[in-house]
Amino acid sequence: MTFVQLPLGNAPSPTVENIMASKTISFRIFLNDQLVDTRSFAQEVIKLGRLSSSHLRLEDATIGRMHAVIEVGIDGEARLIDLGSSSGTRVNGELIDRNHALAHGDKLELGPYRLELSIADALPAVASAPVASAPLAPAPVASAPAQAKLAIDLSKVEDSSEEVAEVITTYGRSILDVAHVGQARNRTRSALPLMAFGGVMMASGLGLFGYEVSQPWDEYNAQVAEAHQHHREAPPAPGLGTGSFGMLLALLGLVPFLGGSLRRRDTGLEAYTIGEGTEANFKVSGDALPNPAATPLVARMAGGYSLAFTPAMTGSVELGEQHISLADLVASGRATSHGGAYHYALPSGAKAKVDHGEVRFSVNLVKRGAVVAGRGEIDWPFWGYFGGTATIATAFYMLMRSMPDDALAMELADDEAATRFASYFHQADEQDMAEPVETESEESDEKAQSGETGKRASGPEGKMGDPKQKSSSGAYAMKGPKSAVPRLARDFSPTASAQEAGILGILAAQDRHFLASVDGGAFAVGNDDADIWGNLVGTEHAAAYGTGGLGLVGSGKGGGGTAGGLIGMGNHGLLGHGNGSGGLYHGNEGGTGNTTGFGERKKKVPAPRVGKGKVTGDIDKDMIRRIVRAHLNEVRSCYNAGLTRNPSLEGRVTIQFSIVGTGKVSSSVVQENTSKDSSVANCIAKAVKRWKFPRVGKGGTALVSYPFMLQAR
């Protein structure tokens, strides 16, 4: 501090002005624990915030535009009032609730700033009195080094090109309300164009989507299914293919439509009104107001703002260093009367104080606050994560929608490809068929309708021996080695030889043995010294002829007759003549008719059959029947597996299954099973579950029941 010499002479005598403030409040300002400034105030109200009108201006995003106010009462008590800031205000580390009494040495925390208070009694400043003697030049006193002032860039928080009207409502020393007229812009004019544009987009998109939906898709699906069944090229799809584009356009139209709807509420504050009505910005008594419901106090006009006041109101307007009362404004004609109130156009930078009863309205024209983050602080990490997740989810959804309906389905037997080879996969075991032996059969004059009763051999009864001998008691003998086992031959028959080989056969038959018997061997063997024609039995070997032959066999030298009966022993027939129980035989192979022999063994082949099904739903029954028959080899495979466990397995299995709108089988159950083999029935039900059918009309569900008859033939 330096002293200034005062001149002598006719200079006016100085006056002594006493400062009425009872307290002096000093602030030591720390930013991130570093001292950046020191300020002192000796006044009743100290405003803290980011606005240029604040006494202690602190620049940071966490500091409110009007963050807090320090009021000094008449009794000298200092009180801190928080004006509803987002980050709040702390005193000595504790968050205050609306207001808090301050004391010497308290520490205030506002965002990153820390303010250390020093409260002392204020001293009146007294001007130096005139001195008659010559002026004395006092010794210079070294002044304290100037504190570094806090440099704040206001361009980030203020818009210097425009002003707004700040209205602070106080009652006594308490601040009741703070408002800014003209801060929020009125965007209702752009709401209707945005809503109209969005509505046109939505209507166009829904029109394209509706046009695609109205196409005959059921007929197209039926044609595609029929083309697949006959392995033909699918017909072209109806419509323009703009259904997805239309839906996307309609969704995009929601953005401007909703944006316009939100802007209809952005009316902004164009006038600050007082009164008793609900539309008034601040509620006061309506007495002496032109409009008791809502009377404008500050209103926005072309080129600035106007102040309205009634004759009952008092106050003043500050224009720089000039103070003009409201009465002087009316008397000088600067304020014009209109609608029961006076109106005065506030120039740039003007400050006004209007008292309405015990309520004071302080109106200050300040720079408009810059829009920092629109409707609020933008959380970029959150929106980045949300946008990335939404993009990935949308991409996966579009990828899934672009796939065909059956691309993700597991089908082991689809109608388009696998059923072509089903007949090769499920076939019965092939049996080696024996080549038939070609034989010539003799035609019979008799019509053998049925087998005849067996008869004795035809012709005279047989007698064994030499017909030239008169004796009838001698036994036969056959020449041969002593070690041989004697036996007769069974093939001596002149009649059979004549039938088989003619003259040459008869001459060749002469070389055979003279004796033969039906129970003999392939050739005759003897162990006697000579051949003797005699009877089968006798007391001694001697030539004889008589009753020792076989009466039921026939005539001849011990041989069989013509064998006309069932048990005849001749070579005409083996076991009879006529139709019996095996096949048609005649001559040397047997009698004409069936014999009692066994037939050829045949292996059973599984042959399931499809019964008449029952179909309920909007689906073609003939198409269902063709598809079921096309998959019959799968049923045969299940039946063949059951036959390996039980060769006599047979019965009826009824499967009930439901077909959804896409043509897939949603469920398949066994409705009836008479085969008593649950594994076969379950196998058939699982096979039906894999079948693919045409689409059900109108996207409904069809219920089908089909019986399968299992029987091996």
| Residue 681 CB burial class (10 angstroms; 0-12, 13-18, ≥19) | buried
Please write the tens of the pLDDT for every residue from 156-186. Answer: 677 777 888 999 999 988 889 998 888 777 6
Contacts of 569 (CB under 8 A, 6+ apart): 457, 518, 550, 552, 553, 554, 560, 561, 563
Q: How far apart are CA 686 and CA 668, in angstroms?
A: 7
Q: What is the mean pLDDT of residues 102-112?
A: 89
DSSP for residue 45: E
pLDDT value, residue 40: 87
pLDDT value, residue 429: 53
- Mean of the per-residue pLDDT values for the chain? 74
Q: What is the mean pLDDT of residues 511-521?
A: 59
Q: Indicate the pLDDT class of residue 377, thresholds 50, 70 and 90.
A: low
pLDDT value, residue 591: 44
How far, rounded to the nearest angstrom, does the alpha carbon of residue 165 sit from its chain's CA centroid?
57
Token couple for 460: 């005279």
pTM score above 0.75: no
Q: Indicate the pLDDT class of residue 656, thresholds 50, 70 and 90.
A: very high
pLDDT value, residue 611: 86
pLDDT value, residue 459: 54
Q: What is the mean pLDDT of residues 533-545?
A: 70
Q: How far apart are CA 43 and CA 46, in angstroms?
A: 7
Please write the tens of the pLDDT for every residue from 130-157. Answer: 444 344 344 444 444 445 555 566 666 7
pLDDT value, residue 499: 55
For residue 668, the tally of other CB atoms under 10 A from its CB is 19
Task: With beta carbons less than 8 A apart as the criterion, state whether 666 and 658 touch.
Answer: yes
- Strands (E) across 370-477 are located at 464-465, 474-475
Please write the tens of the pLDDT for every residue from 434-471. Answer: 555 444 444 444 444 444 555 555 555 556 777 777 77
- Residue 478: phi and psi, rounded to 5, are -130, 135
Q: What is the mean pLDDT of residues 95-123?
A: 85
Nearest to 158, CA basis, from 51, 48, 53: 51
How far, rounded to the nearest angstrom, does the alpha carbon of residue 409 sit from its chain's CA centroid?
13
